[in-house]
Structure 1
């Protein structure tokens, strides 16, 4: 990974944590994700006017990815509804590189070395710490933990699908443009049906915040897709999840969620594991 690719992925990590925080901040999750994804459709249509249409062989990946993103959004909304941002976000994002490492080996023939295997082990330990910290004798909220881990599985799935798709597309910009359009149309249609004549009134109070989230979302994933055309999938997925620390800080600073030294240590362990996955020998 070149310094330029590394910088792009790190910027994607910050913007990704930021738009997720915006989605969590809007109390009605359907309103938040409707604004973010519909804004993504509008941005995608604008980008499509200036980008090359993806090659025919990329469209099966685009369609599959749009379906996986639908599942991802439903799971992410559920995670944010059931758990703290400071727990749900690290679990969802931290579990994804572990699965991407396996998927990339199977589907893209990018086999990890010993350093990556050690990173997987450390990240798993960190994930466990993030999940169980704060229980204080209470039973784990398995629904919240399960939703976050399922979200991580969906993230890993679309990461690999899009990694293969953008490489086949011949145009990273064209791929992200049409992906934003395809993945956002379903929620736009559902919102119009759900709120009917009241759609504008329901969305208006959060429009500015939601559209900011949309811009950050497109930027975050666009940077990742561009990077996936220039480096292997697993290291990019791993580096991208440095957003875990950003998400933890946002949860503590803006949502007044108690993070505590043990969870900071657990999140740090995840980042060390991600760093080992990035080691090139």
Structure 2
């Protein structure tokens, strides 16, 4: 994988950890996530005016991905209600690279070399190790965290295939995010009403900024998946847990133990092997 691609995906990982920390630190995470989606949708509608539409063959994947992203949002918000960022985030993100590599092999015909697969396994194992406490996987929100990982794998493989068929990965990203950014507010309004969504609250600007950061991060990842195997790109993206652990330590008052340092070392080793 080219060093430029690796660098961009690692940058996306940093951005991804940042917006997850913003979401975890919010008082009403469902509202924050929905405001993020509105910001993404509004931005993407403007960007779409200046882009050539993606090929028709990619549109079913964009629609499916938009629906899967809504499921991901709902599971992620629920898992954050029940666990720390340093526990929930590693399970959700650590379970996805192996699932993505498997999905890419089944649905996209990708073949990964043994050394790269070993690197992916190290990254996933190191990430999940971050969630262990006293030798146990002590995550109150474990079913939702694992469900989040499944949604991540599903939309990642869907977007990897869709972007390759689109002929224009950035245009595909923009239109997929428009669909996602419209569907999520519809779900929110159905649950809580429009007044709850659009009434101004403290943190609205922060949530909107988080949406723009997430858009940039995922756009980088989709572009990378058109040039490199999805499992490898995913594993590099999930190094965001390294940044999440540090953010949780510095800003959210979460502990940084010897076990976490060891896990981060394993993740770094896997990243080097992939690179």
Fold conserved (TM > 0.5)?
A: yes
CA contact (8 A) 2:67 2:183 kept: no
Alignment of 1:148-159 (within 5 A): 148-159=145-156
Q: Distance in 1 between matches of 2:137 and 2:241?
A: 21
> What do the CA deviations read for 1:7-43 (whole angstroms, capped 9, x no partner)?
2211111111111111111111111101111111101
Say which of 173, 177, 182 aligns to 1:176. Answer: 173
Please list every run of 5 or more consecutive structure 2 residues that lacks an aligned counterpart in the other structure. none
**RMSD of aligned Cα (Å):** 1.9
The aligned counterpart of 2:14 is 14
Alignment of 1:1-281 (within 5 A): 1-123=1-123, 125-133=125-133, 135=134, 141=138, 143-193=140-190, 194-201=192-199, 203-276=200-273, 278-279=274-275
Indicate the larger mover: 189-198 or 223-232.
189-198
CA contact (8 A) 2:94 2:128 kept: no
Q: Distance in 2 between matches of 1:192 and 1:105?
A: 38
Q: Distance in 2 between matches of 1:226 and 1:121?
A: 23
Q: Distance in 2 between matches of 1:121 and 1:167?
A: 25
Residues 229, 264 of structure 1: alpha-carbon distance in 2 compared, 3 angstrom cutoff: same
CA-CA distance at 1:117 after TM superposition? 3.6
CA contact (8 A) 2:103 2:157 kept: yes
TM-score when normalising by structure 1: 0.90
CA contact (8 A) 2:15 2:213 kept: yes
Residues 246, 178 of structure 1: alpha-carbon distance in 2 compared, 3 angstrom cutoff: same
TM-score when normalising by structure 2: 0.92
* Count of residues paired in the alignment: 274
Please list every run of 5 or more consecutive structure 1 residues that lacks an aligned counterpart in the other structure. none
CA contact (8 A) 1:238 1:275 kept: no
Q: Distance in 1 between matches of 2:170 and 2:151?
A: 23
Q: Distance in 2 between matches of 1:90 and 1:141?
A: 12
Residues 140, 118 of structure 1: alpha-carbon distance in 2 compared, 3 angstrom cutoff: closer
What secondary structure does 2:54 align onto? coil
